[in-house]
A and B are shown apart, each in its own frame.
Chain A
Amino acid sequence: MRHPSVTSARAAYVSLALVVAAGAAACGPKDNDANGSSGDSTPHKGGTLTVLNSDPQTDFDPARLYTSGGGNVPSLVFRTLTTRNRADGAAGTKVVPDLATDTGRPSKNATVWTYTLKKGLKYEDGTAITSADIKYGIERSFAPELSGGAPYLRDWLVGAADYQGPYKDKKGLSAIETPDDRTIVFHLNKPEGEFPFLATQTQFTPVPQAKDTGTKYEEHPVSSGPYKVVKNENDGEHLVLERNKYWSAAVDDQRKAYPDTIDVQSGLDSSVINQRLSASQGTDAAAVTTDTNLGPAELAKVTGDKELAARVGTGHFGYTNYIAFNPKVKPFDNPKVRQAISYAVDRSSVVNAAGGSALAEPATTFLPNQKSFGYTPYDLFPAGDTGNAAKAKELLKEAGYPNGLTVTLTHDNADNFKTSPEIATAIQDALKKAGITVKLQGLEDNNYSDTVHSVKTEPGFFLAAWGADWPSGGPFLAPIFDGRQIVKDGANFNASQLNDASVNAEIDAINKLTDLDAAAQRWGALDKKIGAQALTVPLFHPVYKRLVGKDIKNVVISDWTGVLDISQVAVK
């Protein structure tokens, strides 16, 4: 799971942990209109690109980063076995080779994956990148000192569940073999056709063991990408990246690396970032942001200004905001009650609370509305734009609540556009029309996470959100609906605690497929099938709108990240 970055800087301080990951991975705008209108849009090398961010890059260790597709700023320094295709729109959801010559060669049942490194790969000090360095990089991500990454490696690699990393366990992971300097082989404990997607994450970055300094490595990680870190002040608050002269475009067809220098300034208030980008004075003319969206108030202003509107990029990241039910809690054990709420929800007011129709699209499916996820449209409990109160009342009557119902909706107090008080009050207002009285239970951010992600304390009715680790149905559906992923004594994301043998079996069957298009179709069908149980009420998919400075060229926004790809941007 990856959360997109919050729109508001103040929320960033109240909300937590994943903000760091989001800051790392989430990204910017698209110059839709500018691409068409501006005359000389040919990008040239040179200049300094300024990045204005709210969240500091506190983690800059490839082991600790939790990214979708390798992140934005990190991807300038860290190359991985595979990476996301740096292209606009749907083409950008493809996985492509990076350090490796292809996206991986699976064994027949997709449990063994073999990669060969390109020739001539070098670090910033000129030494060669070897397959052993990639193995070491993955191993150190298991160290408790360097925790923070996604859970897949631990779940998928043979014998990795209890591995504690190379500092405590010198033997290393036998699941990864490096028969020679350019070959690396992964042994998985079950078929995983989507392994190439996993190999885009920063844990697949080569780390030379001799240069590893443990928790201090993030101060100067050794670059394998087009830029190296020359300055890292205040724990990631101010980063300066300059060209890595040992990087060559000949062995990297994804990163364009137009600017000579990248200057990342963070710790800024989100409204200040947007003000600076819209004013575009001085160095801000060559500035972008990789973590700050336009908020509704700013959008209201920008849409009235032609010049500004032309500098807004729009993107879609695979993300769904929804209501989660816990059927173990009454009255949500009754499907009719869950259906009644599904009918009663007023998606237009929820969308307004999330920033209006330009910043959120109403959702009736759990999967994001993108082809790569296997999006299969369905609307099983049609509520229309503003809710179907009559149908909801009818269902409530059938469920034994002819006089209405009082329920408690749990939400996060952080103002973060996902599970925030604004969304909760919009739902409260809508359900009133259907005779459902909603009491709000707002929890402080940490408390909210603890409460809703523990099977012991999970409330019956709460706001939740889920984002894609990569643009496919697998990491979207499995953690939420796979019965074997229910975690009894830790962070559980299968909120409905669904453990349906047919669902589990279908997940296993799809994971075996290495034909990702075929897999996508089946994920879509599975989504619709689960949707019939009304275990969630999908609310909306957010839309990212971001400004860029007036000198910015070559804005590329993929549907993988939904935001501008910093490796493509030019300032000249």
Chain B
Amino acid sequence: MNGFGGFLLRRTIGTLATLLAISVIVYVVFYVTPGNVAQITCGPRCSPEQVHQVAQQLHLDDPLYVRYWHFLQGLVVGQDYSTGTSVEHCSAPCLGLSYQTDQQVLSIILTRLPVSLSLVTGAMVLWLVLGVGTGVLSVWRRGRLTERVLTGLTLAGWATPVFVIGLVLMIVVCGELQLLPFPQYVKFTDDPEQWAWNLLLPWFSLALIESAAFARMTRSSMLETLAEDHIRTFRAYGVGERSIVGRHALRGALAPVIALNANNFGSAVGGAVLTETLFGLPGLGQELVHAVSVVDLPVVVGVVLVVGFFVVLANAVADVLYAVADRRVVLT
């Protein structure tokens, strides 16, 4: 198989295999994690009989492989479950039900995914602008004050944990200066303007800590390009510095920036835990950490899979973009 079709097929198979492997790993790891799931679900004061009833209800007494098999079955053909008063169907692909809340994992994920995507997409725009901008400026004005200040700023962002940056920003911007309201998630579909205003601070906090990597990446790739023979030739022919930096060197930085961006985007979808927690955004990261703390296995597996999917997808997109940007690259 060759060409784009072959690439897609190989990537799809590879993705599925990777996700399957991830689900097995998560099942095994959380199976051996301490924490009596039935007791946690039932409550600390539940009697042994009650705990036993709950364990039966949730099929916690089944061996691990049986539970995993049920999980796969649910994915392919769906699963029936009882609410006590009626029997409901969770249609394929069914990721199961939360131990804690009895809600379908897929619906939990679908309500939270837009929040995570809103956060990460906006932050991505900012970190690209801030990061690549800083990188370009620091090459163009290398050695000058602007470069040093900008580099220092992005590195300060890089060095500071988000819970510190975010909290201080919030106290200063929302509390003391009262420039913005305290962030609170508003759906894009409800009110796009409020959506953006409320997400501005979270975007900025997340972007600030990410942009240093982009600045460094852009800068080093550009410097590398600038050292190449053809640039020296351009210079010799009197091409202006602005044009050299802005057009030729920047093109060289495109590929690594795309790759870095893909990865950061993918893992921030489920990984921006602290940002979500701090700003009270009901996203996937927050849900995941909560699910881990109560050993809510179906939710953990479901969210990890969805996040893993985004990481893999983002990387595949990056490869395609990369090939578009640089025609010498062959998709594998």
Contacts and interface: CB of A to CB of B under 8 A. Distances in A.
Interface of A: 1, 9-10, 13-18, 21, 58-59, 66, 140, 143-151, 154, 161-162, 164-165, 167, 212-216, 233-235, 237, 265, 267-269, 271-272, 275-276, 278-279, 281-282, 284, 444-447, 449-450, 453, 479, 487, 489-491, 493
Nearest to B103: A235
Contacts of B282: 234, 237, 267
6 shortest interchain CB distances as A-B pairs: A214-B84, A446-B35, A214-B83, A490-B48, A144-B53, A447-B34
Contacts of B40: 16-17, 446, 449
A275 B180 CA distance: 13
Given A147-B54, A446-B40, A449-B44, A167 B293 contact: no
A111 B289 CA distance: 46
Contact of B280 (A161, A215, A272, A487): A272
B175 A143 contact: no
Interface string B287-306: 00110011100000000000
B277 A144 contact: no
- Most B CB contacts (10 A, CB to CB) among A146, A167, A267, A268 go to A267
A215 B46 contact: no
Interface string B66-98: 000000000000000011111000000000000
B45 A1 contact: yes
Contact of A13 (B34, B49, B171, B277): B277
A151 B46 contact: yes
B18 interface: no
B56 interface: yes
Contacts of B57: 144-145
29 contacts: A13-B286, A17-B40, A144-B56, A145-B57, A145-B82, A145-B84, A147-B53, A151-B45, A154-B47, A167-B84, A216-B83, A234-B111, A234-B112, A237-B282, A269-B167, A272-B167, A272-B170, A272-B182, A275-B170, A276-B182, A445-B293, A446-B33, A446-B34, A446-B35, A446-B293, A450-B34, A450-B36, A487-B48, A491-B39
A145 B112 contact: no
Nearest to A165: B84
B43 interface: yes
A272 B201 CA distance: 13
B129 interface: no
B181 A281 contact: yes
B165 interface: no
Contacts of A491: 39, 44-46, 48, 51
B54 A213 contact: no
A287 to B, nearest CB: 11
Contacts of B83: 145, 213-216
B102 A453 contact: no
A16 B293 contact: yes
Contacts of A493: 45
Nearest to B171: A275
Contacts of B289: 13
Nearest to A147: B42
A279 B175 contact: yes
Nearest to B295: A446
Nearest to B97: A215
A476 B111 CA distance: 41
A215 B181 CA distance: 37
B34 A213 contact: no
Contact of B293 (A14, A234, A271, A284): A14
Contacts of B84: 140, 143, 145-146, 165, 167, 212, 214-215
A389 to B, nearest CB: 36
A569 B48 CA distance: 41
A258 B47 CA distance: 40
Nearest to B48: A490
Interface string B116-142: 000000000000000000000000000
Contacts of B56: 144
A265 B181 CA distance: 15
Given A10-B277, A272-B279, A279-B174, A21 B43 contact: yes
A212 B86 CA distance: 10
A445 B290 CA distance: 12
B12 interface: no
Contacts of A148: 42-43
Interface in B159-193: 167, 170-171, 174-175, 178, 181-182, 184
Given A235-B108, A275-B174, 14 more contacts: A16-B293, A16-B294, A147-B41, A148-B42, A151-B45, A161-B47, A167-B82, A215-B102, A272-B280, A276-B182, A282-B181, A449-B35, A479-B45, A487-B48
A151 B82 contact: no
A18 B43 contact: yes
B146 interface: no
A374 to B, nearest CB: 22
A143 B82 CA distance: 12
A272 B40 CA distance: 28
A13 B43 CA distance: 16
A275 B112 contact: no
A491 B35 CA distance: 12
B233 interface: no
Contacts of B293: 13-16, 445-446
Interface in B241-287: 277-282, 286
